[in-house]
């Protein structure tokens, strides 16, 4: 884990073991449009709720975070399924431009309108078994006061562990999603570089056109996850 968090865990007012991830995904029982090809998962990053641990608890009465935990941030993942009746690129294009870019970079444009997920020859060279689904880490957001500890990296590694079975690769594009940045300005590029270091510490490697890939068949992402677990368990 070459990346070193800029803030020491001694500044964190709770234990790393109090961090809990909550997953949500809903879909119609009978798929329509691209529901069978594209899944959007939402992951809430929360702090375990206890009356002695929640800064929002009133002196008396019910706390709104009693059931859900105190929010720290959230993540979103998009899974593009292979072997469906819809073209993966078309499903991605109908979703968002960010997802369409990732799918375009990772697939063969000659088969853009052909049903299924058609990995590109370049991906096939760097991914051990490019035959399954593609998981895209779309957004990772932490509330400002919880940034700098590595919580985002830990949460991403854990979520990937839960959501990636059946996927050949996980993709992301390191880029800040908030802040007052000029497009492609020095501040934006510096933030991009820092985020790239964070995601490399989770197991991602630079691919092309700003897209990073994680090979789910390798031991490396497992080792990265273990190092983040050990970091927060200390």
- Rounded CA gap, 153 and 225, in Å? 9
String of DSSP letters for 30-59: S--TTTTTEEEEEEEEEEPP-TTT-TT--S
DSSP character at residue 129: T
* pLDDT tens-digit series, residues 79-118: 999 999 999 999 999 999 999 999 999 999 999 999 999 9
What is the spatial distance between Cα 96 and Cα 86, in angstroms, rounded to a whole number? 16
In the chain, the number of structural domains is: 1
More confident residue, 2 or 23: 23
Is there a domain that residue 134 lies in? yes
In a domain, 168, yes or no: yes
Q: Is residue 2 assigned to a domain?
A: no
In-domain check, residue 96: yes
Helix axes 186-200, 151-163, angle to 10 degrees: 60
Q: Tell me: the pLDDT tens digits for 57-77?
A: 666 666 666 566 789 999 999
The pLDDT of residue 121 is 96
DSSP state of 72: E
Q: What is the CATH number of the domain that holds 147?
A: 3.40.630.30
Strands (DSSP E) found in 149-204: 167-172
Q: Is residue 3 part of a domain?
A: no
Tens digit of each residue's pLDDT (9 = 90 or more) over 148-192: 999 999 999 999 999 999 999 999 999 887 766 666 677 888 889
Tracing tokens 């078994």 back to the chain, one arrives at 129
Q: Which two tokens stand for residue 195?
A: 């985020």
* pLDDT over threshold 80, residue 122: yes
Round to whole Å and give the CA distance between 26 and 11.
37
């Amino acid at each position: 884990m070459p990346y070193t968090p800029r803030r020491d865990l001694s500044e964190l007012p709770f234990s790393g073991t109090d961090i809990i991830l909550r997953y949500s995904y809903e879909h119609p029982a009978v798929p329509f449009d691209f529901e069978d090809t594209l899944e959007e998962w939402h992951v809430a990053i929360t702090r375990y709720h206890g009356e002695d641990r929640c800064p929002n608890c009133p002196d008396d009465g019910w706390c709104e975070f009693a059931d859900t935990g105190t929010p720290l941030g959230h993540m979103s993942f998009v899974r593009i399924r292979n072997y469906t009746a819809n073209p993966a690129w078309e499903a991605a294009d109908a979703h968002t431009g960010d997802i369409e870019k990732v799918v375009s970079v990772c697939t063969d444009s000659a088969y853009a309108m052909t049903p299924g997920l058609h990995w590109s020859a370049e991906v096939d060279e760097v991914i051990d078994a490019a035959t399954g689904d593609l998981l895209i880490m779309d957004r990772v957001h932490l509330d400002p006061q919880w940034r700098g500890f590595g919580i985002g990296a830990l949460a991403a590694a854990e979520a990937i562990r839960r959501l990636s079975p059946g996927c050949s690769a996980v993709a992301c594009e390191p880029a800040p999603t908030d802040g007052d940045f000029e497009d492609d300005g020095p501040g934006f590029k510096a933030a991009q570089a820092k985020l790239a270091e964070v995601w490399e510490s989770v197991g991602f490697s630079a691919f092309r056109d700003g897209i990073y890939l994680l090979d789910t068949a390798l031991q490396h992402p497992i080792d990265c996850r273990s190092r983040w677990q050990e970091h927060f368990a200390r």
